Chain A
């Protein structure tokens, strides 16, 4: 019983922040830790890419979808163009596209739906210059929700494809 209570507390601590659907992303941006070493040195590590703006931080490398849909909306074209170009110019770079779904419906069907979402993103990247060996599309279905409440505000965040570069997953 005590154990269950403890787990419930751990759960609350872990997911407490995620359940306020405001800004769930918090990993890399250096602005979060002010008094540590100067963050300046983090910038120039970027590889030979001539266009500095080609690689937005990972929280901006997501495509969102309507319920039960997998088509990429026009608003994401500039993002995919930039990523495709970056991959074309950096053949050594690898990308994993993870497709996600909201919690509604069959878990296995959602694996297939998430796969189709990720595959759609992959196909567009290939059209824009990336190669098949650089990009792998996989599905997380409804298994790794970013937001865990049972409402549309949460669901809309979870219907998503994330484009992750090697080292980010």
Chain B
């Protein structure tokens, strides 16, 4: 039973259509991320749910109630703004207390709830500080405390990590997830950072140009991208263009040019894709960590290392091959890495391949 439902929600600003026909169901207690590049409409969608932007079309339902035209100060949602929007003239305690005061909660209960919220975000000792005396990470936690202390039906997070530096961002991601698990609030997060979305969401909603392209668990979105956009936005991918030359039942044979060919099964195509036939253009997609490097002469494709990057836990190699540039990621096993100029062989499991259909490609 969906807790928060968006039905055919759209938003146009004059001629510009920012959001076009969003349909989304979020279950109670779920952590869902709206993921996409800037301008994809994710923030606008969040603002429509919050009530700061009017929908042009469509309906938003919360726990059975239609809130599409409800003013923002009646919806009672918990929001963490990108800039945190802490009240600078109020202390941490007063900030967190504000939402409770608006609900006429009596003093005793207020104090107790504030204490619990601040303990949850580990800011108990900072209750009397002012925002300008806090670091970025601390301000973010105040913003979170302020949003959850009111026990909202839904928690909305607008790019909550974008103002934090890299290390802090990682730590906060885990902490945010832990908090959400603990209080069980339905949460919707907007982000452009795909690794963040993948690591802490129950489901990921990939958006592009105002539309939803794919809704899946992080694992499936990564392993079974529906199209070009998703496969390249989430993680890195090697994309090889090809054409279907034969089809027998469940098996297809794809010609990739340059004397390369692959055989795959229908299960490696997007689940919700169109029907395919012989002659269709199709793209082979394989993730860098699924490629193996072996000695020169073996493997399916010879290649030459053009540059290498050390990523701590992994080595990323760029290779030149007759199929173009190939990216390969190897675990750092403490062994001697390859050097630039080395000739190697690239190999992969047929199961590791995915096929992506071109948008609108029809013969």
Asked if A and B are interacting partners, one says: no
B binding-site residues for A, Cβ under 8 Å? none
A residues apposed to B, CB below 8 Å: none
